[in-house]
Structure 1
Amino acid sequence: MSFAQHQSDEKPKATLPSLQPKSVLERATQAAAAAKRNSTAEARATPPSSASAESQAAEKPMILGIPPQELTPLVRRALKHLSDQVASLKSDRARLVERLRRAEELADRDTLVPVFNRRAFERELNRVISFAHRYEVQASLVYFDLDGFKQINDRFGHPAGDAILLAVGETLAANIRESDLVGRVGGDEFAVILAKAGPEDARKKGAQLAEAISRTEITYQGHRLRVGAAYGSYCFESDDTGERALSRADEAMYANKVGRKIQSL
């Protein structure tokens, strides 16, 4: 055997790395360390704006007690529907209130003349009497009965009489203060409430209104028609009622009418 062969045979063999698997404990420890490193890296990589957005979302106020995170598109649609329903109910209520106001106004108005009917007039009369008694102020009532109205009705018919009543009601309404009230209390009978007016003021106002009525003229089928008016005034007393005040003013009107007839003889 040669020297070269001898050297080759005596060369030590290289040590190969171990291919045996690591123990279970060692592998678990390494996996936990790797997961921790990944979590730390992800936290560092998270942009500040994302954290800020999450903080702002947490600070958003609740809507109707619902947290922001629960306001899904479905919940928002439900809230929008509910809001629309509430708005619709408010609108319906406003319309009903307006209709009720109009109905009450129509119920208070005379069917022919744009003044209070007797029911509404007596209601307002009682209010004024109570106010006058409570605050110790004077208020009065003037009662009117139209002269010559029956003759117009008999000769020209009810449409002519209706036109006269309408003209008289408009004349009275145009010649009183905003604080006064006009009502039609009978077929051809009207009454006026005079706020803060004593006996003398009521007599003067009654005469003025009667004169205004006598000057009121309408043209019906080519005929010029007018009526006169007898009046009586009454100043309220503390124990009066609306019905009693109307009766007293009516009595004063009748006495005035009889006196005028006697004077014309």
Structure 2
Amino acid sequence: MSFAQHHSDGKPKATSPSLQPKSALERATQAAAAAKRSPVAEPSPSLRGAEASPAHSPEAPPVLGIPPQELTPHVRRALKHLADQVSSLKADRARLVDRLRRAEELADRDTLVPVFNRRAFERELNRVISFAQRYEVQASLVYFDLDGFKQINDRFGHPAGDAILLAVGETLAANIRESDLVGRVGGDEFAVILAKAGPEDARRKGTQLAEAISRTEITYQGHRLQVGAAYGSYTFESDDTGERALSRADEAMYANKVGRKIQSL
């Protein structure tokens, strides 16, 4: 037996420590230590689900630019007080806007008849004229003067005259389109703006409205009262103003009234 064979058979060869196999416990311990050193590393498939850490809840958004950590009870009370003040101001503003709207409506309405007063009517007349000039469309004005109104006032008094005016205003308002406007421009004088109406349309509508006025009847203290109406129509020209248009329509009404008197002789 050789010297080599003697040592080989008598005692096993020593193995280097770095080549010795590791136990399962040791491998698991080292894997856990590696996972702690690298928290962003993807967990092994065997640990997913059971050992994965729960997700963190998202951070709350700031309120009015104030970070959540600064929203102390005192700050929250101040914010609520501020919100209540804003709501109150909004409510006050809405009430004020409504009051202004109603005040404007009252300022535009005739004190007796539910139609525009002269000031508001002239304002709207200028608007319609400007619109007609800008878009090159026709629009007209019809002017009315009541026949027999003075006699009713003289015989039955102003309350009877007021009742006649109210009935005439309601008749005119009930017999025009939504795009047309009615105004009381004098004591017993009314005018109607006819949108998109030429000379022939205005004359035809004037006749229709005058006939409707003559059929209007009221009962006052047991008396049946009626009035007639003379009218004149005018179609706006390119250089017109509201004042000029009213004057031209008034002149046409007066000429019509004189012509009717001459025919009745």
TM-score, normalising length: structure 1? 0.79
Aligned equivalent of 2:125: 125
Q: Which runs of 5+ in 2 are unaligned?
A: 1-52
Q: Is 1:87 equivalent to 2:87 in the alignment?
A: yes
1:129-150: CA deviation from partner (whole Å, max 9, x where unpaired):
0000110100000000000000
Aligned residues: 213
**Amino acid corresponding to residue 129 of structure 2 in structure 1:** I
Partners of 1:87 and 1:165 in 2: CA distance: 46
Matches within 5 A, 1:244-263: 244-263=244-263
Aligned equivalent of 2:33: none
1:210-241: CA deviation from partner (whole Å, max 9, x where unpaired):
00000000000000000000000000001000
Aligned equivalent of 2:188: 188
**Amino acid corresponding to residue 231 of structure 2 in structure 1:** Y
Aligned equivalent of 1:9: none
Q: Which runs of 5+ in 1 are unaligned?
A: 1-50
Aligned equivalent of 1:21: none
Partners of 1:220 and 1:76 in 2: CA distance: 69
Aligned equivalent of 2:216: 216
Partners of 2:165 and 2:201 in 1: CA distance: 25
Q: Is 1:171 equivalent to 2:197 in the alignment?
A: no
Partners of 1:76 and 1:264 in 2: CA distance: 86
Aligned equivalent of 2:156: 156
Partners of 2:154 and 2:192 in 1: CA distance: 27
Matches within 5 A, 1:226-237: 226-237=226-237
Partners of 2:236 and 2:147 in 1: CA distance: 26
Shift of 1:52: 7.2
Shift of 1:181: 0.2
**Amino acid corresponding to residue 196 of structure 2 in structure 1:** K
Change (3 A) 1:100 1:52: farther
Aligned equivalent of 1:45: none
1:193-215: CA deviation from partner (whole Å, max 9, x where unpaired):
00000000100000000000000
- Identical columns (%): 92
**Amino acid corresponding to residue 171 of structure 2 in structure 1:** T
Larger Rg: 1
**Amino acid corresponding to residue 228 of structure 2 in structure 1:** G
Partners of 1:52 and 1:258 in 2: CA distance: 100
**Amino acid corresponding to residue 81 of structure 2 in structure 1:** H
**Amino acid corresponding to residue 93 of structure 1 in structure 2:** R
Aligned equivalent of 1:138: 138
TM-score, normalising length: structure 2? 0.79
Partners of 1:225 and 1:61 in 2: CA distance: 76
Q: Is 1:60 equivalent to 2:60 in the alignment?
A: yes
Partners of 2:151 and 2:210 in 1: CA distance: 19
Matches within 5 A, 1:22-37: none
